[in-house]
Structure 1
Amino acid sequence: MSAAGFLEKLLDGAEVIWKPLGDVAQYSTTRIGSDQLDESNYVGVDNLLQYRAGRIDSDYIPTSGNVTEFNKGDVLIGNIRPYLRKIWQADRRGGTNGDVLVVHPIDPVLNSRYLFQVLTDEKFFEYNIQHSKGAKMPRGSKHHILQYLVPIPCPDDPEKSLSIQGEIVRILDSFTELTAKLTAELTAELKLRKKQYDHYRNWLLSFEGGEAEWKPLHEIGEFIRGKRFTKADYVDDGVGAIHYGEIYTHYGVFTHKTYSKIRSDMASSLRYAKPNDVVIAGVSETVEDVGKAVAWLGKEEVAIHDDSYAFRHNMNPKFIAYAMQTDSFHNQKAKYVSSGKIKRLLIDGVKNVRLPVPYPDDPTKSLQEQTRIVAILDTFDALTTSISEGLPREIKLREKQYAYYRDQLLSFSKPEAEAA
């Protein structure tokens, strides 16, 4: 029997009423003290994983004041960059910040897990993206989210309604559980590989016992800040561009292609990264992400956003990009990041951050050594990223099945007036 047929049999002619989310749930209005939080129950937007993948423990915990409380069963939705589809149902009590919406069910004829499945559906994220506001760092509209329609089967018979919701949850959770187990195994292996790789990269670029001079960035090259463009300037065919947000999404050592195009009539007003420049994100939500960099290895110049910088130099661009991933770089950089909600690189300070330059008195030998190190790190990087980019076929299949059944089991018919 198809999922749609199963749903029809499950309903057995029962009425379905579509209620605004705000009628069956509300945003959390309670607070929790920072003294009750730890890495396992503080969930900031950075601890919510993209594409419905759950959460991870936090590296940051507030040390004073109160934050928004969540309780077991509440649904947490990342409200920055809704297109990342960050969502998690709390299995514990804890706290979060203003960048995460805590949706608390209040209707007794509503299974909290059923609500989570409704809000995990692609239809909700498409709706949330459609109503989000802001070009640089879009946010979901809290007002519109509460207007999102939630299907409640058989609302006048609470026992039957909860039974129907529970059966839908049982089926969808079976897919969720299997996918989660497979993904957990993958994540554990990836985490181990990444830890080993990070340790080796830090050691290799520390030049312990090797011949290198640690030079400030302003002696190695120059920073060129990009020019502003907005979401409205994007086109299908125009000037290639790198937005700072794409550096996070496609973060790596290098890139050969752009993911955005800007209107051609703006070409003369833009600023560009040249081939072999390193493009650096100048803003982010976290100290860790601000300053992330990619080496631009395309054949043409590429426009950069005014919250990004092109670093122009005479070294191996991938060597610099790798060096900007080390603990040494991040520890130095942290002193030159603004303390506001949105973190910004204080570029006049960052110019003093030092990177290693091997054999500084012999340019030819220096480039040879840089190339040698890049080749080694390329191999490790490929081993680390291959497992995350090439998800096992079974996990992909399970995710596809889960999405199909979720869509089918939540495809209740709307009255014509509501569907319009």
Structure 2
Amino acid sequence: MSRIDELISQFAPSGVRHVELHQVASYSDTRVDAKELDKTNFVGVDNLLPDKGGKTDANYEPNTDRLTAYAPGDVLLGNIRPYLKKVWLATNAGGCSGDVLAIRIREDERRALTPEFLYYVLSSDTFFAYNMQHAKGAKMPRGSKPAILKYVVPIPPVEVQHEIVRVLDSFRALEAELEAELEAELEARQVQHSYYWNALLTPRTSWRRTTLGQIAEVFDGPHATPRKTATGPWYLSISSLENGRFNLASSAHIGEDQYETWVRRVAPRLGDTMFSYETRLGQAAYWDRDEPAALGRRMGLLRPKESEVDPRFLTLAYLGPELQSLIRTKTVSGGTVDRIPIANMASWPISIPSIPEQRRIVNVLDSFDALMNDLSSSLPAERNARRTQYEYYRDKLLTFEKAVV
């Protein structure tokens, strides 16, 4: 038998009182002058953090002279878009905007109900599901204040409340510790990745000096924007460039009727490197598909001469320290945007190793990328698994048999 079971058996053997929230708490009915508030004690709905993240300091001032006051121990709820799960247990006194509800335990119930226990009840997924069920409005749903006060809450003996709060606090602390460890591991790997990236792509004296035009053809993309469609050949825009590869989730399509006209100058082929020469300067990506695609505006293309350079290495070299330094040096400031003078790029100097060494570097950096991707995907997966586990145990701990009246 757990400690909580022992306490329930001792203090509530016949079950636990269940009441509607309005029987033990109410909305704050006190007010505070705006001049008494600052960024640390004014709470607007924007500085309540989603997913039960508490609050951060406000970045704007109140827009009314008098506001609802809150006190230590009040539970503050964001009342716009309840699905964002914005909730905070107040640790200080202050004031909140009209879109934040300050729920305060009634004076005559403070011996029977602790603020910490009420916070856990009102930050449960069960409560937020109830709140959304009764919310009003489609685009910007708001919680129903009357319905919130009708939410049924358990009131176990305070000894049980204290033990449940202790267990849930410990669980949250362990969750935060694990998350910090995972993020520290990811940060360490990122530092390591950056070190090897620069070390492997920094030219050595044994590398051959040549020009970009000697190892690749340089093409300029279109200077207009096509009509986008839901299907058809890929339209590879600047926004789809991401860490040396294309994020096709950020790409669009162009219709078959436009395709032939659009790609008249150049159509991307498997193995090409595409880059931005106006916005997001220095970004490039490798095209790893053998299917129709169209080059977006303000995009350039490098087509490798495969006897001179490995196609994947060309993309890495573009993103490496030598060419990135040239990009910073040769970028021309324009009226509204800076740009790379693409017409001169063929003459840019570049150093490259032998083809076997290029392929070795590609394999090493691809392995690092795979490791980084695994870590980057495992962090949110581990976080979600922990939160799911936490919510499961929270619901278990907050579920009690009703007392027979």
Bin for the TM-score computed over the shorter chain = 0.5 to 0.7
Closer, same or farther in 2 for the Cα pair 1:291/1:174, shift >3 Å? farther
Closer, same or farther in 2 for the Cα pair 1:322/1:280, shift >3 Å? same
How far does residue 278 in structure 1 lie from its aligned partner after superposition? 0.7
Please identify, of 298-307 and 328-337, the stretch whose mean Cα deviation from structure 2 is larger: 328-337
String of CA shifts for 1:48-103, please: whole Å, max 9, x gaps: xxxxxxxxxxxxxxxxxxxxx976756769xxxxxxx9xx987458x8xxxxxx69
Cα distance in 2 for residues equivalent to 1:174 and 1:341 = 57
Partner residue in 2 for 1:267: 259
| 1:221 counterpart (217, 221, 227) | 217
Partner residue in 1 for 2:275: 280
Secondary structure at the counterpart of residue 300 of structure 1: coil
Secondary structure at the counterpart of residue 221 of structure 1: strand
Cα distance in 2 for residues equivalent to 1:402 and 1:121 = 18
Cα distance in 1 for residues equivalent to 2:79 and 2:381 = 26
- TM-score relative to the length of structure 2: 0.53
Partner residue in 2 for 1:326: 320
Cα distance in 2 for residues equivalent to 1:213 and 1:234 = 44
Partner residue in 2 for 1:201: 197
Secondary structure at the counterpart of residue 143 of structure 2: strand
Closer, same or farther in 2 for the Cα pair 1:151/1:276, shift >3 Å? same
Secondary structure at the counterpart of residue 108 of structure 1: strand
1:351 matched to 2:345? The reply is: yes
Partner residue in 2 for 1:389: 377
Alignment of 1:18-417 (within 5 A): 91=56, 107-108=67-68, 114-115=77-78, 118=81, 121=84, 148-151=140-143, 153=145, 181-213=177-209, 215-216=211-212, 220-226=216-222, 228-229=224-225, 233-235=228-230, 237-248=231-242, 251-253=243-245, 259-271=251-263, 272-284=267-279, 289-314=280-305, 315-337=309-331, 344-348=338-342, 351=345, 354=348, 356-358=350-352, 366-391=354-379, 393-398=381-386
Cα distance in 2 for residues equivalent to 1:122 and 1:245 = 31
Aligned length: 285
Contact 1:280 1:291 in 2 (8 A): yes
Cα distance in 2 for residues equivalent to 1:263 and 1:323 = 33
Closer, same or farther in 2 for the Cα pair 1:75/1:201, shift >3 Å? farther
- TM-score relative to the length of structure 1: 0.51
Q: Percent identity?
A: 22
Contact 2:239 2:251 in 1 (8 A): no
Cα distance in 1 for residues equivalent to 2:44 and 2:61 = 6
Closer, same or farther in 2 for the Cα pair 1:150/1:333, shift >3 Å? farther
Partner residue in 1 for 2:397: none
Query: Structure 1 stretches of 5 or more lacking a match?
Result: 1-7, 18-68, 78-84, 96-101, 124-146, 158-169, 360-365, 405-420
Contact 2:40 2:57 in 1 (8 A): yes
How far does residue 341 in structure 1 lie from its aligned partner after superposition? 11
Cα distance in 2 for residues equivalent to 1:198 and 1:254 = 20
Query: Structure 2 stretches of 5 or more lacking a match?
Result: 1-17, 28-37, 87-138, 150-164, 393-405
Closer, same or farther in 2 for the Cα pair 1:403/1:375, shift >3 Å? same
Contact 1:240 1:262 in 2 (8 A): yes
